[in-house]
Amino acid sequence: MTEAATKTGPKVHAVEEYTVQEEPYYLPIGDEVELFETAYAQRIPVLLKGPTGAGKTRFVEYMAWRLGRPLTKVSSQSGNEEEYRQPLITVACHEDLTASDLVGRYLLDTDGTKWVDGPLTRAVKVGAICYLDEVVEARKDTTVLIHPLTDYRRLLPIEKLGQVIEATDGFLLVISYNPGYQSALKDLKHSTRQRFIAIEFDYPPKDQEAEIIAHESGCSLAAATDLAKLGEKVRNLKEHGLGEGVSTRLLIYAGRLIANGIPARRACQVGITWALTDDAEVQRSIEEVVTSIFE
C-alpha cells in the first residue's frame, strides 16, 4: 500500500468500498477465528471484549479479509471481473457520536438539501461488516439502531426518511468494548449486550506475543522476547497504579523504535513508560523493570 501511495497519492475509498486487500498479520491465540467464522455464517452479532491494544481491531480486519475468501469473482458494470472482498466499515465511537452520525443526515447542496447515508446505513446496504469500536462511548440513542439490527429482524430504521432498510446478506454488526476502564456509568446495558456473542481478548501469552512483536516491528526475536517479558511484568502492575496493562500495540511501537536504532532502554521509556502513566513513582517502577530487563 505504501508503494501505491507514493505513486498515485493517497487512495481514497468510499466507506463501503474499502476492503482489506492484503492479508493482515494475525496470530490466532485460541479458537477465536473459528468462532467468528461460525458466528458470521449464522449472522450472529459479535462483541469483542478486551483491553486496549490487544488486537481486537486487527482481528476484525483479519476476519474481514478471511471472509472475503475464497475470492468470488464478480462482474462489475464495466464488464471487468473484480475480486469480491468483504467490505469492512469501522466506526470509532466517541462520546458525541449520535444516531444520525451513524445513519446519515441531510447536507446542504446547491439546490437545497441532500440526504447522505451514514456509515451504518452504507454497511447495511452493501452487506459489509460494520465494526463499532468502543461502542459504550457512543450516545445512548445509538442503541435504538443497534437493537433491530442485531436480532432476527436485521432492520435499520431511518426515521428522517421514513424508511426501514433490510440488511443485505453479508452484513454483520461487530462491536468492541473494553470492560477495564469504563466506569459503572458507561457499562454496556444488558438489553444490548445480550444480543451478541462475546469473544474475550486478552494479551497473548509471552511467546506468542514475542512472535507478534517481532513480526510487526521488525526487531530481533531476542528484543521481542524481552519486550514481551516486559509486557508481562508491567501487566502485573495493573490496578496498582496503572489503569491498564501495557498493550501489545505499545510493545510493538517500542519494538519498531528498537529495530530502527533507538537504544532499547530509551525506546521503552518513550514507548512504554511515559506512554502508560504520568505518575512519577509508577514511572520509576516501570523504568526499574525496564533497566532490569534491557541492558
> Footprint of another protein on this chain (CB under 8 A)?
95-96, 98, 100, 105-106, 108, 113, 139, 160, 183, 226, 229, 232-234, 236-237, 240-241, 265, 281-282, 284-286, 288-295
> Nearer to another protein by C-beta: 70 or 162?
162
DSSP 9-53: ------GGG-B--SPPP----SSHHHHHHHHHHTT--EEEE--TT
Residue 49's CB: how many other CB atoms inside 10 A? Answer: 20
Yes or no: say if 119 and 102 are a contact pair by the CB < 8 Å rule.
Answer: yes
> Nearer to another protein by C-beta: 106 or 274?
106
Q: How far is the CB of 124 from another protein (least distance, A)?
A: 20
Indicate the residue type of 283: Q
> Nearer to another protein by C-beta: 50 or 245?
245
Q: How far is the CB of 130 from another protein (least distance, A)?
A: 20
CA distance 229 to 204: 11
Counting every residue, how long is the chain?
Answer: 295
Q: How far is the CB of 169 from another protein (least distance, A)?
A: 31
Please give the distance of CA 246 from its chain centroid, rounded to a whole number.
Answer: 17
> Nearer to another protein by C-beta: 68 or 118?
118
Q: How far is the CB of 172 from another protein (least distance, A)?
A: 27
Q: How far is the CB of 289 from another protein (least distance, A)?
A: 5
Q: How far is the CB of 133 from another protein (least distance, A)?
A: 20
Grid cell at residue 190: 444488558
> Nearer to another protein by C-beta: 211 or 232?
232
Is residue 148 classed as helix, strand or coil in its secondary structure?
Answer: helix
CA distance 120 to 281: 44
Place of cell 496503572: 242
Q: How far is the CB of 222 from another protein (least distance, A)?
A: 9
Q: What is the separation, in whole angstroms, between the first and last Cα of the chain?
A: 36
> Nearer to another protein by C-beta: 67 or 242?
242
Q: How far is the CB of 221 from another protein (least distance, A)?
A: 14
> Nearer to another protein by C-beta: 34 or 159?
159
Indicate the residue type of 237: L
Q: What does the DSSP 8-state code read for residue 110?
A: T
> Nearer to another protein by C-beta: 86 or 178?
178
Strands (E), the chain: 46-49, 72-75, 81-84, 88-92, 104-109, 112-117, 129-133, 155-158, 163-166, 172-177, 197-200
